[in-house]
Structure 1
């Protein structure tokens, strides 16, 4: 054990045990952030450990939960593992340079392998890669020591083709968000607000493993997509090089990578991968002399100091505490995630906001709620955690951590479902000193509404439909059949029906479901007003959440005047995710203002 004396850190580093239901153990090395999952107590620790090699961008966001699930399955078989962020991604520092392109990421892979060997005392590795990570496994296995096996899931065979495919996927994501041509990231390799460094992109463009000369391991599991002949041919090539190749069709790939909010885990494939790795590791002998972490994982940048950590009962949650290097001021900020995005946020927005706050003297906490990203689910809780009261327990645990570190008071900030959790948590959390709610979908959940349906077919606002109808791109997509006309028409009709319901004489409101929901919303705002909790409501100008806001507070928002603690701001030219740089900068500034004002 090592005693810690610095501001915001624990008096005693609470060590390194892991059990099912706990988050994995944070580690830091070579300016990267990793999560180590040791073999579960009671198993014989294998001399083979698994090093995860992640995909990049949108695909990485969608597979984050899959990696956690596989790590836990491996641990139950006595196999330790490490998953980590490449430099310049996720929760790693931002001030990275990439001379020569891929060598910086390849050096990080080597450092991760060395760290894994040190942590668990193994001499052999099994590489598990997805997408670009699977290709890195093929290209880098020779420099990582003894590699017993490699799992290659949807490997990138041609870097040039991959970048073309990524550009098409990026356009689909931007179309889904309703971004105009001026709002899209141009001239760079990007997707979902994430930008691949130019040097990395140039190196990736030159990758081709069609005619690889050396197999990455003696045993290889290729999880290939059914319609990708190049992936099947790659498996044949590895076999011709002497590898024992097992082939597995990647059932459920599209459902996994289509959207992190609605991603469905490929259970059959996960089971096949876990069984294959366990069988390979079963003859590897026993690990010896592990060196478990003896101090907190710390990551530093120009003006911040971050501690990735586990917290809550049984260390069930994973998050990152971000502290200013200089004098601290204002209230701390709890940054709440949106949907199933990992704690770094959409386009790394939460990571960027945390470091902006630190540069201005404000501490913050960002974390994965239970069953999101790297935080495991709560036993017995519903699988669907969004818009559930259970997430308020996670917020309470974050406040407890801040209190333990002497970092109160704190304000809550979140977007969409994160804004909903911020609002609902502020009602009962007496330690909440303020709320910034960005594009809240609603303020009270209608139990008759299906969360899955709302997430998968989230309707647009009438204003957004009008805006899109004027675009030539919309006409092109309509003619080509890319727009689901019946669903769009149904969404419009439902919103028109909602408007008609709230236009009915008020005497009928108390008899309707709408009236009951409206009463609950106003009662909630009334409670916060009585406690003088400052709140900022921030909407993009065509966000669907505005439909409910107007339903509860009037077309002109006049009913909000009853709550002087609340300010409302509309951001022009922004999408639901607040993607434009100007919108991001505005949000960061508003959160900072709330943090500073709340401590006065």
Structure 2
């Protein structure tokens, strides 16, 4: 990071980050990074940061931004459609020129961002080049493919299809605004002749005929088109947890830009003026500020959402990365929406990217994991330190899956934590004899495996070779071993490693109980996190009666990641209920945002209302 710097900025409700060189002479050309959407956006957040750093290190000022209604940008006050996204990209290009002094722009786009880049290149005279990676070439086909993929995901996760709103365009819980989807579905591919004479770099997926045909059409009208295989595409987009930054693509982009955009503008005393665009967005109900927090050798991107009239002792909720490598916005923008709902109710909410994730620094070497290690626990502690320095209110930690593990461990030893919300937590203690590796972090329960093996859809996929049999057998084997250890532990508590880890976890729960720290547990029915609870608190969770500080709620027809709309809405309602407890302790009133329900008058009522096991 010493070769470059980056700052968050905002304009017209659009949240963005600008990067620039510190040592290399700055070039006359800036690079605008147009993001993809949905799953591709979540998988590529870190990639875009790495790309921006590499290009800035080569002398190019770079700006990346969120479209209106996505991630950290505000939802538009009026419907603006896909054209609103194009306008936001064009405005971003103007801002990049204004803050850096560059006079030309190269547009980079991946997936749907490539289509945005194409449209921009046909409309602006200052576009000096274009880079497309796995481009969306027509909106209608893209919308159709998203619908098919969404259906397959629901079937794979055993979620009833009636929970999928087929009238809307969505993927992994990300719902595209209806006006954007409608306009995009009518969007035809750009005519290659529009790019005649323009330097173009195209990364084509190896098995995509459409990508290669587009490349050949471009080459037929221009001798300045370079085609490259995007053989890193699947490693980037297959799974959020395993997304790998396409380093070869980044190196190729950097070399190509050096070659096609050689003009320099100023020497190594580069400066970027961002004061005109403070990193603040807001509405009448909340104000949101983006900043980097530096500590412990880290530079962590944080977003603080505050009530408009915010007392210094307002409760503070800190969201961990929702599943480890999901960025601060959440897999389905759920952390953003929950933060804003909480702020409208009178609570300060903080979300952030941990080390090796999203827009934060530094990175770990390839192959090293942060999940279930001390690293994310330290990240959370840094956030608590920062929150305590800025605010006086009680602190609640919210985590799902591995970030619930981190929140649980920090709260057990840090008495500044006054409340916990733990969602689908799969581990209380990590077995020190098991490598920290993604293959040991499965979330499927034995009951779910039984259901899947009797599902005709899954069986058909099995016959077609579309199921990783080795991975499935490995997961089943681990679960059977775990169930056996749990049975033995009920009779001989200290005989097995699991038994000893169970006692360690119960000591941590007891410490929270003794400090009177409310612990609210939320699980998807059928998730392995429920088996973990029963292994610690007995069949039917009978031993929870010993922990009056703990509540338990479930949601039906959901997956581990809370993909269906109703599951995320249920969690947000729970968070608002938990916020009501915090506000009641401080004798503050709560404003309930539209579309949510809170039925809490007293803390003792709150505990009973959250302990329901029904979805």
TM-score w.r.t. structure 1 length?
Answer: 0.90
50-59 or 513-522, which deviates more: 513-522
**Counterparts in 2 of 1:589 and 1:230: CA distance versus 1, 3 Å:** closer
Structure-2 residue corresponding to 1:43: 24
Distance 1:92 1:564 in 2: 40
Asked whether the 8 Å contact 1:74–1:278 carries over to 2, the reply is no
Q: What secondary structure, in the 3-state scheme, does the structure 1 residue paired with 2:27 have?
A: coil
CA offset digits 1:321-360 (Å, max 9, x no partner): 0011245575110011122111111211101101110111
Cα 1:283–1:296 shift into 2, 3 Å: closer
Is the counterpart of residue 157 in structure 1 residue 143 in structure 2?
no
Structure 1 segments unaligned to the other structure (5+ residues): 1-17
1:106, distance to aligned residue in structure 2 (A)? 1.3
Which residue number corresponds to residue 127 of structure 1?
107
SS, match of residue 309 in structure 1? strand
Give the secondary-structure state (helix, strand or coil) at the position aligned to 1:342: coil
Cross-structure match for 1:345: 330
Contact 2:317–2:397 (CA<8 Å) still a contact in 1? yes
Aligned equivalent of 1:75: 56
Structure 2 CA distance for partners of 1:93 and 1:216, relative to 1, 3 Å: farther
Partner of 1:187: 167
Residue 556 of structure 1 aligns to a residue whose secondary structure is helix
2:213 aligned partner: 233
Question: What corresponds to 2:526 in structure 1?
Answer: 542
**In structure 2, do the counterparts of structure 1 residues 249 and 499 end up closer, same or farther at CA, with 3 Å as the change threshold?**
same
What residue number does 1:13 align with?
none
Q: In structure 2, the residue corresponding to 1:504 is in which secondary structure?
A: helix
Alpha-carbon spacing, 1:530–1:284, altered in 2? closer, same or farther (3 Å): same
- Residues in 2 aligned to 1:330 and 1:138: alpha-carbon distance in whole angstroms: 46
Deviations 1:379-430 (A, max 9, x none): 7898311111111221122122222322432100111112111111112222
Correspondent of 2:416 among 431, 434, 452? 431
Pairing 1:159-174 to 2, within 5 Å after superposition:
159-174=139-154
Is 1:595 the equivalent of 2:579?
Answer: yes
Aligned to 2:301, which of 318, 321, 328?
318
Shift of 1:121: 0.9
1:573 counterpart = 2:557: yes
Instruction: Give the direction of change, closer, same or farther, for the CA distance of 1:581–1:227 in structure 2 (3 Å limit).
Output: closer
Q: Distance in 2 between matches of 1:451 and 1:178?
A: 28
Q: Alpha-carbon deviation of 1:233? A: 2.3
Kindly indicate whether residue 37 of structure 2 is the aligned counterpart of residue 56 of structure 1: yes
2:20 touches 2:272 (CA, 8 Å); kept in 1?
no
State whether residues 395 and 419 of structure 2, in contact with CA within 8 Å, keep that contact through their aligned partners in structure 1: yes
Check whether the contact 2:395–2:418 (CA below 8 A) recurs between aligned residues.
yes
User: In structure 2, what is the Cα distance between the partners aligned to 1:483 and 1:138?
Assistant: 37
Give the Cα–Cα distance (whole angstroms) in 2 for the partners of residues 240 and 284 of structure 1.
Answer: 31
Alignment check: 8 A CA contact 1:147 1:217 kept:
no
SS at match of 1:377: coil
Contact 1:427-1:528 at 8 Å conserved across structures: yes
Question: Are 2:388 and 1:376 equivalent residues in the alignment?
Answer: no
Gaps of 5+ in 2: 586-615
Return the match for 1:528 from 501, 512, 534.
512
Report SS of the residue matched to 1:312: strand
Cα shift at 1:503: 1.6
Q: Structure 1's 494 and 385: CA in aligned 2 closer, same or farther, altered over 3 A? A: closer
For residue 86 of structure 1, what is the aligned residue in structure 2? 67
Matches within 5 A, 1:203-352: 203-209=183-189, 211-215=191-195, 218-286=198-266, 290-293=272-275, 296-313=278-295, 316-326=299-309, 328=311, 330-337=314-321, 338-352=323-337
- Contact between 2:426 and 2:443, CA under 8 Å: does it hold in 1? no
The match for 1:519 among 503, 515, 518 is: 503
Quickly say closer, same or farther: Cα 1:257–1:476, change in 2 above 3 A: same
Q: How does 1:409-558 map to 2 (within 5 A)?
A: 409-454=394-439, 458-469=442-453, 471-485=455-469, 487-504=471-488, 508-558=492-542
Q: Which has the higher contact order (CA 8 A, sep 6+)?
A: 1
Q: State whether residues 139 and 185 of structure 2, in contact with CA within 8 Å, keep that contact through their aligned partners in structure 1.
A: yes
Q: How far apart, in 2, do the equivalents of 1:286 and 1:241 lie?
A: 34
SS of the aligned residue for 1:237 comes to helix
Give the root-mean-square deviation of aligned CA atoms: 2.5
Alignment CA distance shift 1:460-1:82 (3 Å): same
Contact 1:63-1:256 at 8 Å conserved across structures: yes
Provide the TM-score with structure 2 as the length reference. 0.88
Which shifted more, 159-168 or 384-393? Answer: 159-168
Partner SS for 1:441: coil
Shift in CA distance, 183/216, structure 1 to aligned 2, threshold 3 Å: farther
User: CA 1:170–1:243 in structure 2 vs 1: closer, same or farther (change >3 Å)?
Assistant: farther
1:110 matched residue in structure 2: 90
- The 2-side partners of 1:38 and 1:418 are apart by 32
Q: Which secondary structure does the structure 2 equivalent of 1:152 belong to? A: strand
* Distance change in 2, residues 1:477/1:594 (3 Å): same
Q: Aligned pair in 2 of structure 1 residues 382, 473: CA closer, same or farther (>3 Å)?
A: closer
Which digits, 9 at most, give the CA deviation of each residue in 1:494-523, with x for residues without a partner? 323322222226564423211221122112
How many Å separate the matches in 2 of 1:381 and 1:224?
24
- Which residue of the partner structure matches residue 589 of structure 2? none
